[in-house]
Amino acid sequence: MQSADTLQQYFDLGGKVAVITGGSRGLGLAMAHAFAAVGASVVIASRKQEACDEAAAAVTAASGRPCIGVAYHAGNWEDSDRLAALVYERFGRVDVLVNNAGMSPLYESLTAVSEALYDKVLDVNLRGPFRLAALIGERMAAGEGGSIINVSSIAAVQPTPNELPYGMAKAGLNAMTLGLARAYAPKVRVNCIMPGPFLTDIAKAWDMEAFNRRAQSTIPLQRGGDPDEVVGAALYFASAASSYTTGAILKIDGGSAYPAA
């Protein structure tokens, strides 16, 4: 029988270093606060340095743990190289990598999707996570191991015409999760969180009355998710609590999407 102290140790990230892309807001920021609260030093990487600095200051103020912000564009291959080099120079290690950065621009029709838009969506949602995971995963595997967490979307398994390139990229991220879990085993665990509709900053652009009406019939839990509701899954995958879990894709969507076949 496990004691309360032993159970707490499962989720302890004391002495660990976590890198979170897209970490200045939304799900990424919720994870940054959670990781720091259980002892991790955190690197918040996102496009705008000012937003990263503000988020990092808030995490440090709340937790007392070191947290730094780094400007990072997931669509730029060289930015992944720069980010990895900076983090290893500053901290000497990475124990947890969260590939959370993503984007899904609006378009009028599928034929209106330009080559530039298509490339941008695939670059940010798939190419960048691949490069960063390869750089850090290789060093994790050669060192003390670690955990890589990819943040996908239910669009990967249930895409709509309004987000098809995004869904295609996230489906690739799901496949990448399985491949990296084998590539960097046994010392590195690679798992994926697959969120549904969460009420993050992006929801400010939604027609909430229409969303709430749809949620009553399309989401078994009948609502969107709160950003803090991703924390349990993130802590599980980041910590020793998931020591025998790799290659897993965890759907967190209120039950709205059917699982992939």
Please return the burial class of 160, using the count of CB atoms within 10 Å of its CB with bins 0-12, 13-18 and 19+: exposed
Q: Quick check: 247 and 144 in contact, CB under 8 A? A: no
What distance in Å separates the CA atoms of residue 114 and residue 116, rounded to the nearest whole number? 5
Is 70 in a helix, a strand, or coil?
strand
Q: How do 96-99 and 188-195 pair as beta strands?
A: unpaired
- Beta strand 41-46 pairing with 96-99: unpaired
For residues 128 and 105, the answer to whether their CB atoms sit within 8 Å is: no
Any catalytic annotation for residue 166? yes
Helix (H, G, I), strand (E, B) or coil at 195: strand
Q: Rounded to an integer, what distance in angstroms lies between the CA atom of residue 250 and that of residue 254?
A: 12
Distance from C-alpha of 183 to C-alpha of 151, rounded to nearest angstrom:
19
Q: Which of 107, 166, 184, 236 is catalytic?
A: 166
Q: State the catalytic residues.
A: 166
